[in-house]
Amino acid sequence: MNPTLEQQDLAHLFHPCTDLAGHARSGPQIWQRGEGVYVYDNHGKQYLEGMAGLWCTALGYGEKELARVAAEQMETFCYGPLFAGKSNEPSIRLAAKLAEWVPIDGARFLFGCSGSDANDAQVKLVRYYFHAIGKPNKRKILSRGNAYHGVTVATAALTGLPAFHKHFGLDMSEVVHLTSPHFYRQGRPGETEAGFVERLGRELEEVIEREGADNIAALFAEPLMGAGGVILPPDGYFERIQPVLEANDILLVDDEVVCAFGRTGNPFGCQTYGMRPATMTMAKALSSAYVPISAVAVPPFMYEPIEKAAGEVGIFGHGLTYSGHPVAAAVAVRNLELMEERGLMAHAAAMAPTFQAALQRLGDHALVGNQRGIGLIAGLELVADKDTRQSFPPADKMAFKVAAACLEEGLVVRALPGDIVAVCPPLIINESQIAELADKLKRGLDRVLASL
């Protein structure tokens, strides 16, 4: 008798970012197909995909135009590296298209396969740059609590979530984590939001004084924190810290992996929050996740000394086999064109008030202590006591219980550390589907509340 898909999964797959022991007991959820904002499991049940996969399927599922472009590119020219000055048309066109989008004049683009490897490249690039301009001691990287920047050896150290550190033996010696800009949890009793921002600004100044500005290369920051809990920066946060960074020649690396291409109501999260980034990291919605691809935007003031220093060595010694993969680049180009042709940025911005209003109403639910969001992304922080903000015991795994209950109701959401339920639907979602999402999320919360 042939084993089932579930049995083969349990026998052979190693699942990333999964409770492995729990998975061995419960088995997998197997997706079979998708269409628009809906996905279907291998038993035919329909779900509204309220997480756009992993914050990424901006154009939704089953987009035939992207499938057509991928097939056409595979048949025409399936692969060619960008090493040794070789190039391919899709990579050239994608770089030119991104140059029209990003708020960095004259940017060049280094392509990769994921947000993790792109942020890993960012660490190398900022250090290479400072070496090239005669400041080799500028190596330390600032990050923040609750940050998520990836899972490579370097980017996992930058990530400010304990589960991504424990047991891995990471070198944390050149990473300094600042306080998370999470006012709901990190604000002190009686402290105003403005007072909280000022405290974080002073903390940054004190860290720079302690570590030495001559030793710090960059601060990595997401415009809003995704996997760390959908944490929106408090008003005035970036306005407070950016002058400090600039005065100390510390680069602001803008991790746009979750926010880029319309998620916050603007093409990029840095535009929503008034950031002035030196460099930018993009992935996920760059191809609407139809193929793996990432990009780093490098400004001229960094590229030019890097080019000169690499010339002295004889080669710029970094690159991936799949950097600028022609199929991935072709799909990304068409994805951005479709966003332009269909006015997706405007549609997402128009849907945002309806989406936020629907999610804000859930802030009154007995399980929800804090509801937050912007654009088409939101988070619900679950608490045992709304007045005191007391958390549930971690062993209760309340957010995971809510996510499981939502699946029963036909909705995909994501449980995050800190008992946060994240919602991040495809950007093509419409008003009736927003109402459906909110209704199913409420029913999932009600299920869990009734079980207590």
- Return the pLDDT at 209: 98
Residue type, 388: T
Tens-digit pLDDT profile for residues 299-312: 999 999 999 999 99
Tens-digit pLDDT profile for residues 359-413: 999 999 999 999 999 999 999 999 999 999 999 999 999 999 999 999 999 999 9
- Return the pLDDT at 288: 98
Q: Using alpha carbons only, give the angle 321, 324, 325 rounded to the nearest 5 degrees.
A: 70
Tens-digit pLDDT profile for residues 316-327: 999 999 999 999
Tell me yes or no: is domain 66-341 CATH 3.40.640.10: yes
Gap between the Cα atoms of 85 and 63, Å rounded: 33
Please, which pLDDT band fits residue 1 given cuts at 50, 70 and 90?
A: confident
Total count of residues recorded for the chain: 452
**Residue 364 burial by CB count (10 A; 0-12/13-18/19+): exposed, middle or buried?**
exposed
Gap between the Cα atoms of 189 and 185, Å rounded: 10
Q: Percentage of the chain with pLDDT > 70?
A: 100
Q: Please state, rounded to an integer, the average pLDDT across all residues of the chain.
A: 97
Tens-digit pLDDT profile for residues 99-132: 999 999 999 999 999 999 999 999 999 999 999 9
Contact 418, 380 (CB under 8 A): no
**Residue 388 burial by CB count (10 A; 0-12/13-18/19+): exposed, middle or buried?**
exposed
Mean pLDDT of 176-190: 97
Please, which pLDDT band fits residue 224 given cuts at 50, 70 and 90?
A: very high
- Return the pLDDT at 115: 98
Indicate whether 256 pLDDT > 90.
Answer: yes
Domain coordinates in residue numbering, the chain:
5-62+343-451, 66-341
Tokens of 162: 């304990």
Please, which pLDDT band fits residue 228 given cuts at 50, 70 and 90?
A: very high
b (16+ CB within 10 A) / e for 49-80: bbbbbbbbbbbbbebeebeebbeebeeeeeee
Tens-digit pLDDT profile for residues 29-87: 999 999 999 999 999 999 999 999 999 999 999 999 999 999 999 999 999 999 999 99
The CATH code belonging to domain 5-62+343-451 is 3.90.1150.10
Tokens 């992304």: give the residue: 377
- Return the pLDDT at 448: 98
- Return the pLDDT at 413: 98
Tokens 């495809």: give the residue: 426
Mean pLDDT of 168-186: 97
Tens-digit pLDDT profile for residues 3-22: 999 999 999 999 999 999 99
